[in-house]
Amino acid sequence: MQPDTACYELRIYHIAPGKEQDLFNRFRNHTLKLFVRHDITSIGYWMPINAADQRLHFLLRYPSREAREDSWKAFVADPDWQAAFKASEANGALVQKVENPFLILTNYSPAVRTGDVSHGGVWEWRNYTTEPGRLPNLDARFRDHTIQLFAKYGMNNYAYWHLMPDQPMAEVTLDYFLTHASVAAAQASFDAFRKDPTWIAVKAASEQAAGGSLTIPDGVKSLFLKPTDFSPTT
């Protein structure tokens, strides 16, 4: 299998208060179709399980970073987009803030796929920040051990990414998606995983080789998400 060298973009929209359905309608009725027109591939759209967290997360793919710039230039100049945008914001902006890190798959990631991935379950976005110089150690631990142990305990490895080299903190960041049957199932899986003798040995050996913890204090973040009704991946 050829490595996936595509450019991925994780866009995070901080939704203005009371504007969730207006934003979703704009995606359903306009944005998704216009993305297709301009060769922007939608992988998935998710909202946090915690309803108070009003941040739409969506993952896009392009053949390259250059292709991404060309597609977005054409998209924002499209008269249909301009009309839809203007009409949807007649009563105020729908989005307060946009974050959009650019990502590339690791060489050990499963291939990204669309369709019914979670079988009605939940998604978990995990973000790791390593100590300086220890991202290769973390990559090796995931590639050689962690991914297989996750699968052993019922966690579905969806995909693993690094930030593109020009992105802030690219040298110390690993991002990945898992799916689980439920939040409770995720917690039970991780509890069992952490007690696994193989994991305990691997973790100790990797930290000894690196000279300490691979991640910084509080360097592991987790967010549970559910697909939107217009997401091509569920």
pLDDT at 3: 66
φ/ψ of residue 120, rounded to 5: 85, 5
Q: Is the distance from CB of 60 to CB of 41 less than 8 angstroms? A: yes
How do residues 208-221 score in pLDDT, each as one tens digit?
999 999 999 999 99
Mean pLDDT of 74-89: 98
Structure pTM? 0.95
Q: In the 8-state DSSP scheme, what is residue 233?
A: B
Nearest to 231 by CA among 18, 35, 3: 35
Residue 9 pLDDT exceeds 90: yes
Q: At 124, is the secondary structure helix, strand, or coil?
A: strand
pLDDT band of 4, cuts 50, 70, 90: confident
pLDDT at 2: 57
- How far apart (Å, rounded) are the C-alpha atoms in residues 21 and 29? 12
- How far apart (Å, rounded) are the C-alpha atoms in residues 230 and 126? 23
Domain with CATH 3.30.70.100 in the chain: 7-100, 105-227
pLDDT at 5: 84
Q: What is the mean pLDDT of the chain?
A: 97
- Return the bridge partners of 103, or none: 8, 163
How do residues 154-208 score in pLDDT, each as one tens digit?
999 999 999 999 999 999 999 999 999 999 999 999 999 999 999 999 999 999 9
Ramachandran quadrant class, 211 (left: phi over 0; alpha: psi -120 to 50; beta: rest): left
Q: Is the distance from CB of 131 to CB of 213 less than 8 angstroms? A: yes
Cβ-count burial of 132 within 10 angstroms (0-12 exposed, 13-18 middle, 19+ buried)?
Answer: exposed
- How far apart (Å, rounded) are the C-alpha atoms in residues 172 and 135? 6
Residue 1 pLDDT exceeds 70: no
Tell me which amino acid residue 166 is. D
Count of beta carbons in the 10 Å neighbourhood of residue 42: 19
Sequence-distant (6+) residues with CB within 8 A of 56 are 12, 13, 15, 23, 45, 46, 47, 228
For the 105-227 domain, the top CATH level (class) is alpha beta
How do residues 129-162 score in pLDDT, each as one tens digit?
999 999 999 999 999 999 999 999 999 999 999 9
Count of beta carbons in the 10 Å neighbourhood of residue 134: 22
Enter the tokens of residue 131: 């100590």
- How far apart (Å, rounded) are the C-alpha atoms in residues 131 and 218? 11
Q: How many CA atoms lie within 13 A of 133 on its CB side?
A: 5
Please give the CATH topology (third level) of the domain spanning 7-100: Alpha-Beta Plaits (3.30.70)
